[in-house]
Amino acid sequence: MIALGQRLVQVCVLVAILALWQFATTNGRINPLLLPSLPVVTTEFLGMLRTGAFWPDLRVTLYELVVAFALASTGGCLVGFLVARSGFTIRVFDPIIAGLYSVPTILMFPLYVLIFGIESGSKIALGATVAFFPVALSTISGLAYVDPILVAAARSMGASTTQMFWNVMLPAAFPAIIAGLRLGLVIAFLSILGTETLASIAGLGHEIVSFGESMETAKMFACIGFAILLALALNSTASFVEAKVRRGLE
Amino acid sequence: MSMNVDSSRSLRPPRSLVKRRPRREERRLSPGMARILVILAMVAAWEIGARFFGDPLFVAPPSQVAVALVGLLGVKGVMIAVGMALLELVVAFAVAVVLGVAIGLAVGLNRFWRGALYPIIVTIYAVPQSTILPLFVLLFGIGAATKIAFGITHSVFAVILTLIAGIQNIDPTLLKCARAMGANRRQVLVSVILPSLVPTIFTGMRLAMAGVLLGVLLAELYVSSAGVGLYTQTFANSMQPAKLFALVTLLAAAAVILNELCRMAEARFTRWHS
Amino acid sequence: MITIECEKVSKSFGPRGSPHRTVALDNASIDIERGELLCFIGPSGCGKSTLLNIIAGLAEPTSGEVLIDGTPVNGPLPRKIAFVFQESALFPWRTVIDNVKLGLAFQQVPKGERDDRASEALQAVGLADFANHYPRQLSGGMKQRVQLARALCLGTDILLMDEPFAALDEQTRMVMGEDLSVLLARTGKTIVFVTHSLVEAVFLADRVAVFTARPGRIKTVLSVDEEHPRKQSFMKSAKLAEMRNELYDLLHDEVRKTMELRGEAGESGARAQSRGLRR
């Protein structure tokens, strides 16, 4: 429950930010090249939406995301299943995967550009690498920490290994796997956007940087706004799907 | 009862007559040993793959990377760049933790402000910050300030959110108990709330380190006219994969050590929290 | 002499006028004599813990009031009332002795006196050797002893205990009950004690207040005429068994009513059973 007063504060914060923006840009204190005014950005944003100027770059970014996520989810689930097959393999491989995950993946990007090229290949490789770890780790932990009472109950009812996997292990691990997939999707998108700003020839991130470099800041802001909206939409869609799937399981 | 146990035991032949069969675990490798073998195998696969199947313009085998790494340690410019990056990491980390804990406490301890500001903070946290990196460069230039600021924005929200969650998870019985014993507001803060939040603060620090690493390194790589970004760019453009791999390895090692320090501190200072 | 007066205390939860509003406690009135040990017993959710919290000043009644020695309660009274919680309310980052001293520290008792009173209290509950342990190193029974020591060393006239033995196994709570009876007979405190255990209620209390199912009212108050400290022989006596049975009859219908309200119980009796079999 959120009280009226709290809503009011939220609205006030939003209004204050917009008012500050407007005030700073109309007073001529801030160079419009650095921060264009709100109406200019809004017009630019709507114009770009209407003409479909975002479309080519959006297509590149989404293509990279889809391929990266497909690779990461297949690879992550597969590796997770294989590792979780026995307690021994979990103890051997889980720390290795977790250790690799603690290395900031962004460091791999220069290598990936060198190996996979400056086009989509390097972004897909990095997005897939980033997303692989949470998927694999959550698959392992989901399968490894199934409630032992459920396992004992199924065994007492005479479940075979295959039956155990399909009827006990997989359903019990499913929420964890779904959570891993959601996290993987979101951080893959973030890192693809990020790497596009670092070195690329197309994509939303690239568009933002190239507008910035050519000092078309209004267009840059419109583009940033678009990317942020896209990220928020992706985030809430992923959370929604996860919640839906979870509820379907219960 | 005890007689039954005794008789069943006497049915078994004495130990010395049975050929001692090693238990399953004893026959196997220990997981630690197996882990080392797996890592060695991965390095060996990389060595063989890079040496015999890879293009030497793009990939380098670990043996060459190791040699290049030793070489890099003697290059003053690289060392200054790496040192600078480490300094930025530490500064950004310190600021993010202090700021995050302060804001987290201020917002989290007040029911009204928590309800009002929490959704805003969550939304900001979900913003893909790499898109506004060019803005940071416009605002703060290409020096350390940009990288520190970017590191802070990548981590401070995680600390705030962790703290707010931690405050909500404080055991209500302990708060009630302190109140029943006559604690005033200040005593509740000092004796219950802050000690309860110690594990939360360390969790926040661990998250902050991950965020700071991402933010600072992203900004470092983005600014290719100086620092680490300059060297990765140079090595890549001049087709010196061994040096590039070595530089990345160096930074990765630093990151792992920093992460590990945070994890150890967390384990060390939260021992009572079983 | 009466020390605690509860006058028509009611407590409701949930927003006023909403269908989710529940009446936890409905016009509970009871007077508690100085030095007596009163036990609250009743089905879950009957408001017995709520009443205890209201007496302690840890919760506010929706209507009615509680008087301690003639003054209305509005907030905790740490100099008059000590509280023992159901769960382990020990501070996990403090040693046993530091936990016991905490309440004294809150009330600005001088340092030297704190140490003496805390050691004395630990001695009384038989945990002097565990002063420097951390709570996680103790068993459930020991933790509750520490809570008891912490409450005792505050030196209050009134001790309120909210199901202090709920988390313990039956044998441990049996022994804890015996020890408690001996300890409390010495202190002469006024004690209000919430429990789910019929035997515990009869064994420890001077009077037992039986609560009805939600909305909780005080159905009846039984007196247990047996001097303190209670002996093991009392535990095995026909008198205790008889009183326990009386409590059982009083409570049985209330408990079933509570469970039916929550949809936990079957329709009771053979019909439900035969349906189960057919399925």
B180 vs C79: CB contact, 8 Å cut-off? no
As given in the structure block, the two tokens for residue C91 are 């501070």
Query: Contacts of residue A231 in chain B, CB cutoff 8 Å?
Result: 126-128
C-alpha Rg value of chain B to the nearest Å: 27
- C215-246 pLDDT per residue, tens: 888 888 998 888 878 888 888 888 889 999 99
Residue C132 lies in a domain: no
Query: Contacts of residue A109 in chain B, CB cutoff 8 Å?
Result: 221
B132 vs A99: CB contact, 8 Å cut-off? no
Domain that holds residue C257: 2-80+156-278
Residue B205 corresponds to which amino acid?
Answer: M
CATH of the domain at C252: 3.40.50.300
Res. C269: pLDDT tops 60: no
| Rounded Cα distance, C103 and C89, in Å | 12
First-to-last C-alpha distance (Å) of chain B: 39
Cis, peptide link before residue B61, omega less than 30° from 0: no
User: Chains with 3 or more CB pairs closer than 8 angstroms to C?
Assistant: B
Residue C183 lies in a domain: yes
Judged by a CB distance cut-off of 8 A, whether residue A204 touches chain B is yes
Sequence-separated (6 or more) residues with CB below 8 Å from residue C1:
C33, C34
| Nearest residue, CB atoms, B221 vs list A96, A106, A235 | A106
Q: Testing the interface with A: which of B65, B118, B131, B209 to mutate, by most A Cβ within 10 A?
A: B131
Sequence-separated (6 or more) residues with CB below 8 Å from residue A111:
B241, B244, B245, B248
| Rounded Cα distance, B40 and B51, in Å | 16
Query: Contacts of residue A220 in chain B, CB cutoff 8 Å?
Result: 134
Q: Testing the interface with C: which of B190, B272, B274 to mutate, by most C Cβ within 10 A?
A: B272
- A224-241 pLDDT per residue, tens: 889 888 888 988 898 888
| Rounded Cα distance, A125 and A188, in Å | 10
| Rounded Cα distance, C180 and C172, in Å | 12
- A24-79 pLDDT per residue, tens: 877 766 777 777 888 888 898 898 888 888 888 899 999 999 999 999 999 999 99
> What confidence score (pLDDT) does residue A124 get?
95
| Nearest residue, CB atoms, B182 vs list C91, C106, C134 | C106
> What confidence score (pLDDT) does residue C207 get?
93
What DSSP letter does each residue of A130-181 carry, written as one string? HHHHHHHHHHHHHHHT--HHHHHHHHHTT--HHHHIIIIIHHHHHHHHHHHH
A88 vs B31: CB contact, 8 Å cut-off? yes
Mean local confidence (pLDDT), A142-154:
85
C83 vs B180: CB contact, 8 Å cut-off? yes
At B11, is the pLDDT very low, low, confident or very high (cuts 50, 70, 90)? very low
- C182-222 pLDDT per residue, tens: 877 778 889 999 998 898 899 989 999 999 887 888 888 99
Judged by a CB distance cut-off of 8 A, whether residue C199 touches chain B is no
Q: Total structural domains in chain C?
A: 1
Q: Greatest CA separation found in chain B?
A: 87
Query: Under CATH, what is the fold of the domain B64-269?
Result: MetI-like fold (1.10.3720)
Sequence-separated (6 or more) residues with CB below 8 Å from residue C19:
none
Q: Which residue of A has its CA nearest to B121?
A: A10
Phi then psi for B27, rounded to 5 degrees? -70, -30
Cis, peptide link before residue B22, omega less than 30° from 0: no
CATH 3.90.1310.10 is held by the domain A36-249: no
Residue C85 lies in a domain: no
- B128-140 pLDDT per residue, tens: 888 888 888 888 8
Encode chain C in three state secondary structure.
CEEEEEEEEEEEECCCCCCCCEEEEEEEEEEEECCCEEEEECCCCCCHHHHHHHHHCCCCCCEEEEEECCEECCCCCCCCEEEECCCCCCCCCCCHHHHHHHHHHHCCCCHHHHHHHHHHHHHHCCCHHHCCCCHHHCCHHHHHHHHHHHHHCCCCCEEEEECCCCCCCHHHHHHHHHHHHHHHHHHCCEEEEEECCHHHHHHHCCEEEEECCCCECEEEEEECCCCCCCCHHHHCCHHHHHHHHHHHHHHHHHHHHHHHHHCCCCCCCHHHHHHHHHC
β-sheet with C218-223: strand ranges across: C81-84, C158-162, C190-195, C37-41, C207-211, C218-223
Percentages of chain A per state (helix, strand, coil), in multiples of 5: 85, 0, 15
Reported ipTM: the value is 0.82
Contact C220, C250 (CB under 8 A): yes
Measured in whole angstroms, the distance separating CA C134 from the mean position of its chain's CA atoms is 25
As given in the structure block, the two tokens for residue A199 are 């070195």
> What confidence score (pLDDT) does residue B130 get?
84
Judged by a CB distance cut-off of 8 A, whether residue A222 touches chain B is no
Residue C170 lies in a domain: yes
Q: Which residue of B has its CA nearest to C104?
A: B181
